Structures are given as C-alpha cells and as structure tokens.
Structure 1
C-alpha cells in the first residue's frame, strides 16, 4: 500500500469534511487508479487555504485511508464542487476512512511506501483487510 502526503488543511478536510477530490498539478499515474492509499497530513500548512477545524492541527501523520477512483483535468474547477481548483488535475477519492488516532509518519513527495510499523498501526484501527 502506498501513501500520499497532502498539506493541511486538505488532508484533514479529506478525512473529516467530505472533501473527495485532491487537486494536483500532475496527472494520476494509471497504476494508482483504483488503489487504496494512506492519506498523510504533511508537515507544512497551505498558506492560501481557508478551511478550519480542530482536526487540522495534525501534522506529520497518517489521518485516513481512501481509494483513488479516477482523475480528470479541469480548467474552471467547477466540476468537483467547492473543493475543485481551476487548471488542476482532480484526483477523485472514495471509501474514505478517517483514523481515530493519527499515526505519526515521515512523509515524502509523490506516492511513497510507508514503513511496516505505520501500516500495522493503521491496520489496527481499521477493519480493512486490504492494508
């Protein structure tokens, strides 16, 4: 299973606020479509974001598990409701499961392989057999 680091507040919004699109400047590699991934809240905050909530204070930890269901490019951003950015690839997410307790982990750029202890800690909080 791979993980994807996402800046706060976006990782928290995926886990707790029904955000089901991740905006990226690059197209989703085809091999990741349909894959279960870990959502990792990065250490850096997006300074332009205007989303708030108590869960947004989590940094450097896995906060959810999700399935990447597809990707499309949007010029105007309106296709994905209030979460879609213009001139961005929209990676669509489904089956999001927020973790009750964030699992500390060091993130990386792009998709990355979480260590076994992180996977075990996530697995302990979920009923998902695919981890």
Structure 2
C-alpha cells in the first residue's frame, strides 16, 4: 500500500502495546472515553511516539456508553482485564478487516494529536 492510498485517511494513535494486540493478538475492540463518528470508515493505525502507520482497520460499531456488565462481557474483544470501567463514559470501537502493513507508511501527526491524525501525502 503506497502512501497516496492513505491520503485524507484518519489515523488512530494507540499505545504501542495496544497496537501490537490489534495487529497480532486478535484484539478487535478499542476502548475509549468518547464515542466514534467513524463507523464504516477505513482507518490507519499507528503507535504513539512513532513516525509511521503500521496497519489498517475498519471501525464497524461503537458500543456504549458501556455498563460494567457489557465491558466484562466484551473482554475477549478488548483485552482489558481490570473488570472496571476505565472512563466515566466508556465506549468500545469494534474493529474489523485488520491488517498489518508489510511496509510501514511514514506519517508524522500534528503536534498535540491525541486520538486521530489525518494523513496527507507529500
């Protein structure tokens, strides 16, 4: 996949351990404190404090705000084993069609980007 394929794509910024779990360990739900407006969108995936997109996925559903019961029942999807809601309002972003890129695509998010960045080819 060349960088131009990503032009205008939203890129989700994740902690490195969660990115690895999504790409290689079957994690299929990202837990966030906000709902997602990107259901049905193909997104890039990158680890925080890196300079490249490492994978892609499609956000297929936003569950929440979750109850403790919903959070616990989705543990196999999100891989959080605390049994407690991590946010006052906790949402699960379901991910599908997850794929690691053979060749990472260079990307430098704007300073201060926390959840999403937008890719622009140079």
TM-score of the superposition, structure 1-length normalised?
Answer: 0.67
Moved over 6 A (4+): none
| Per-residue deviation, 1:8 | 1.3
Which 5+ residue runs of structure 1 have no aligned equivalent?
A: 44-58, 118-131
If asked which structure has higher relative contact order (CA below 8 Å, sep 6+), I would say 2
In structure 1, distance between residues paired with 2:20 and 2:79 = 16
Residue equivalent to 2:5: none
Residue equivalent to 2:42: 36
Q: What is the CA RMSD across the aligned residues, in angstroms?
A: 1.8
SS where residue 14 of structure 1 aligns? helix
| Per-residue deviation, 1:104 | 3.3
CA deviations over 1:73-100 (Å, ceiling 9, x no partner): 2222123233255432100000001112
SS where residue 116 of structure 1 aligns? coil
Aligned partner of 2:118 among 101, 106, 113 = 113
Residue equivalent to 1:52: none
In structure 2, distance between residues paired with 1:94 and 1:105 = 22
Q: Answer yes or no: is 1:93 the counterpart of 2:112.
A: no
Which 5+ residue runs of structure 2 have no aligned equivalent?
A: 1-8
Count residues in correspondence. 100
- The 5 Å alignment of 1:1-131 reads 1-29=9-37, 32-43=38-49, 59-73=50-64, 74-76=66-68, 77-82=71-76, 83=78, 85=80, 86-87=84-85, 88-107=90-109, 108-117=113-122
